[in-house]
Structure 1
């Protein structure tokens, strides 16, 4: 199971590295690894059996979390191209705000189905659904609050400045009298 998780993370690293830039790949792996470690930590804390269904839940959480992270990263990449003079932190904030409703609604819809399975599904799939519920919550949290800050940590654009080295230009709706 551990080999399957490690192999999937390595394959994901190379795919995202090819599709985006290396900072996005490392950020996605760090975010996904956080989700896996915290979910496995739940099993340790609750002293639940780690079975084949648990491994399936962890692999599903990897896919789900990675999908959310790639959606956020794709919007960041689009906005980096669109707002070249805007600071990196502003681009990240804008991108997260633009994807926030999609990420939240997808997670809530999935959680409703998983909670129903946990309540009515029986003992056979209880550990799977518990891991999935916890993993979806953690995966949503990490996609919103961890994925973008990793790009700052990995110096995506270089100290929050635009690619040509100029500071970001002020927003169009800023008060021009305040600049005097």
Structure 2
């Protein structure tokens, strides 16, 4: 099997990662995330249809009537529809939605129309951010316990790299960021960590078995040995995610985007960022295999 010199190209990979990270941080700072109704609050309108409607037709009718920043989904049964509007609540908003959807189609009945306040959104935002920090702290402790603190630091930087890039692209292109996207990013953390640990495990094993101290060569060998597994896992995962992207519908569209971006970033970072950073942190053989003491005391024979 052909052996690729990944570590020989690490400087180019570092430059690409740094540029992407800077662009992502700038987008987050200047453009900010386009937060969805889960975080900002808005108006919720529940409707009952006489017959099962088409969600795409409902979205088209609402858009043609001047509504913006809305979400449409089924709510329990197929004829129960929930419309979420990112606008200030008014007493006649329910009637406006019913009027826009009635036309010559099936009968539409208003069940309820109410406002979800921003306080709920703030609470969700704070709790979700704390959940992400706790997840990454747990990752750091796990890797430090299983491997060594240099591995933990590099794995944590690699995971932060993946999360920042995904968040930055959402801010840059102003894709809506809701709880489904947050769930996708949490899944990305687990996926990227799994890839990274497999590469780390092989690198650690090769360091212990190898008789040379050339770390770039040892790292290249470990990455090449796990490359087929990494590409097979990423490829099959992306096939499923692209199916969700094209066929999954509007509700999980951004969720699938976050996972696609995360899988690509995670695969790249597990090869270049996580592994190459070990060279920056000067990982050496004695970090894993303590040198024997020259004047070790020996037990006296009776």
Structure 1 segments unaligned to the other structure (5+ residues) = 165-180
Whole-Å Cα distance in 1 between the matches of residues 177 and 130 of structure 2?
15
TM-score normalised by length of structure 1: 0.86
Whole-Å Cα distance in 1 between the matches of residues 190 and 211 of structure 2?
31
The range that moved more, 141-150 or 68-77, is: 141-150
Corresponding position of 1:57? 184
Corresponding position of 2:138? 11
The 8 Å contact of residues 84 and 163 in structure 1, kept in 2 or not, is answered as no
Choose 1 or 2 for highest CA Rg: 2
Corresponding position of 1:118? 245
Whole-Å Cα distance in 1 between the matches of residues 210 and 222 of structure 2?
11
RMSD over aligned CA atoms reads 1.5
Pick one of 101, 117, 134 that aligns with 2:261. Answer: 134
SS in 1 for 2:191: helix
Runs of 4+ displaced beyond 4 Å: none
CA offset at residue 48 of structure 1? Answer: 1.5
Corresponding position of 2:14? none
Aligned residues: 161
The range that moved more, 84-93 or 66-75, is: 84-93
Pick one of 226, 238, 245 that aligns with 1:99. Answer: 226
Pick one of 155, 160, 180 that aligns with 1:28. Answer: 155
Bigger fraction of residues in strand: 2
Whole-Å Cα distance in 1 between the matches of residues 255 and 271 of structure 2?
24
Relative contact order, higher structure (CA 8 A, sep 6+): 1
SS in 2 for 1:105: helix
CA offset at residue 163 of structure 1? Answer: 7.8
TM-score normalised by length of structure 2: 0.52
Pick one of 65, 70, 73 that aligns with 2:200. Answer: 73
Whole-Å Cα distance in 1 between the matches of residues 273 and 290 of structure 2?
23
